[in-house]
Amino acid sequence: MKIYAYSTKKILPLLLAMGCALTACQSTQKTSGEGLISVVAQNVLKLAGEQAIKRVNFSAVSDKPVKVELKGFVEEKTQGFIENLVSSNAETNGALLIRNGEPEIIIETVVNSAGNDQGSSSIPILNRALRTESVVDLTIIFRDANSGKRISTQNIRGESKYEQKRWVGLIDESGKYYVKISLLNQDGIGNKIRSDISNDGWLLVSP
């Protein structure tokens, strides 16, 4: 009796072919909200927030005394994080944060969504992935504190995830963190499977 050993590299093309044949069976779903009770959940939210806030142009508040006001879907578990995210980045870009007295500019931060979920996706036989996903979606409004005039409005969004994959029920990858860097057209089950396997549109990062 002959026994043949196959390396991962040799069987990968076969596995990809099997995945294409099973496109009709692929599934992706959100399973439940996870909250912020784990370090992983906190790291994922932090990465999403950092990805979002770097899109803000703070030039209008440079060298100006400012205050941050939160509005929208403000939850106790994320309030401190969002407030610090905006205020610290405003200060880094030259704004003068004041605790007492009147500001010259108010930074209204409208929380459209901020939190995370557990998710999973599977391609039968080939792959199963478990994820913690996070989104930070904010509207940043710079407003003149005296006149109430709106100076500018900026809509920002950041997405991140922590993902662990199991291949063919045998190979467990170490968990990895990603941030979303592009919005790809994923219409069609083939595109969804390709994105799920290769993480197209996501950048591998460290928390």
Convert the pLDDT of each residue in 31-68 to its tens digit: 444 455 688 899 999 999 999 999 999 999 999 999 99
Which residues are 172's β-sheet partners? 166
**What domains sit in the chain, N to C, each tagged with a CATH number?**
32-205 (3.40.50)
pLDDT, tens digit (0-9, with 9 covering 90-100), for 124-166: 555 667 788 999 999 999 999 999 999 999 999 999 999 887 7
Confidence at 21, pLDDT banded by 50, 70, 90: very low
Is residue 18 exposed (0-12), middle (13-18) or buried (19+ Cβ within 10 Å)?
A: middle
Cα angle value 196/202/206 (rounded, 5°): 115
With H, G, I as helix, E, B as strand and everything else as coil, classify residue 192. helix
In this predicted structure, what is the pLDDT of residue 19?
A: 47
